[in-house]
Structure 1
């Protein structure tokens, strides 16, 4: 409520400035009626209006208002008219210029006000000591108002810098959230590519086998159809899990278990059931690895086997070797298929995805045709963060 009221007042400068100028006008009414200063009521009222009236626009046109009230006061002084209560408008104008304009304009306004103090001291007849006291008092008033204006100007600049910094931090936070969301979507895209490419490759191979065996070996064709069914269900389940991460009102998918090194045996059995001759060997003592590293290992093996299914050709054999060293896990997947002679449409992103995954953990990967025929994927993944560093 208070914040909304403050914003309402900030948008109505004329109303607020008129409200603060009204007390000066009210205090001048008794003097105008009683002619306390020896001035005629009309002259006193005229001076009061000329000095107080411009204050309504003091924040809208600060320099113009100060120039008007300073000029009126200077003419008043030259004409010998006695000072009136509304002459305080000069100090109000000085404060407004100092607080709302640049440092140079504030200094210039203070200089003009100080000239006015000196002129008033010389113009109005008093004793020598009284003149010194009067000049000192007016100088202190001008200096105090000038310092107060500088303080408010500095404070407003500080508050503006805080508001700008808060807005900048909010924009940076929103940008970081967007970057994180984009990175998460890219990760999900890679996951979807691995899941869909692998399972669709298995389904295609099984469907081809079933079409060849349906007339000669009904049992083998039925087995291929069962494999197609189970593989399709598995692909749908994984796709639902990954796409569930994108749901704004359901974060359960983010906590679903990810495949790791232990699931490589199931992956090999699945590929082997599709008719591909696969052997898997593990050397060394398995090291404890984070879930992210295990997922990377699984996806590399999965992508390598998928590439063999797609490009290896008939009666291809593939071997998967995992070798645990003290500081890293080495992965070797090689086949005796077409190798460099395999057709590549240039639309695959599996090899690029493997490199990105391995680079996250400071490892390296190489995928290329073998000199003697076939294709190989060689990857090395550090098992600990300090090794990658």
Structure 2
């Protein structure tokens, strides 16, 4: 997902001479596809060789091409592609009440061929990408990886230099049940907002949330964005977004909002090497659900034998004492959308201290604890005079996870 597959640089085979250059779709597509299929995403689980692999559906740029500015680099050893990395640049909120924005770069999709790891290739790719980040005016660079991926964490915090552990959001994963929708709450009303209404709500209430993108309108109007949904009490008289926002904060009823991103049409994932017990248990749930659907057994889809699609919940936030229940209603609605669309998993990523986290249904064994590392690239930008060094800022309760970078 947003994890990084990287070799623990240094201490292994001798460094090799590689050419790092921009990706050329006409000449590099097949080689990059082979590289992606050979590289796992994230660490093994519990010492077992269980890893996620990514299928980019024939478009290696799919995970960055929706960003305002993006670049993909490859490392070439002779005529062989042995490494790849992607990067994007955008403007986001640094958090806090001042609503300060700065230009940040995101580094993702770092892959090195298993046969060429421990030779400094990952470090060279990162360094070249950082050169482009600086040229593009980015003040900070950040990267997300699985907190348990020690090789990846060491690569950025030690060998690439300057990256510091910054935020630790949780990746919450829920399987999509095969034969039935999740029952909606009768106490909650779900309203689908237009992209313009959603933009108005997000800018009014969440512009001060860390990593909130200034081009939220581009995100909401993207073809992969399936809609934004607002959960309010069933008894609320809804008369429009302007009237809703006009209610003083703290005086309105509890509510929650979330948007859904169709990652299924951008990439697929495959879980390989799962323990036999997991496979048998998942098969048993499907068999029981098929034989007696009226029992509503929570059937686990087949995540092990073939690639599967994902729907991603982003912009999840809320207010009021009942916000977690509202968030749960939104997640149920997202589950039902995913089931009809053929996605097998629904994913949300939220900050550890976010109150709505308590309302997000998830299966702990399928999720992960993310680690976001950040690096300051240069001094002298306008935001630095206002917020100082963002890398040293304490975390807030919420964080905005851009679906274009999932």
TM-score by length of 1: 0.20
Higher relative strand content: 2
The structure with the largest alpha-carbon Rg is 1
- Which has the higher relative contact order, 1 or 2, with Cα contacts under 8 A spaced 6 or more apart? 2
TM-score, with structure 2 as normaliser: 0.20
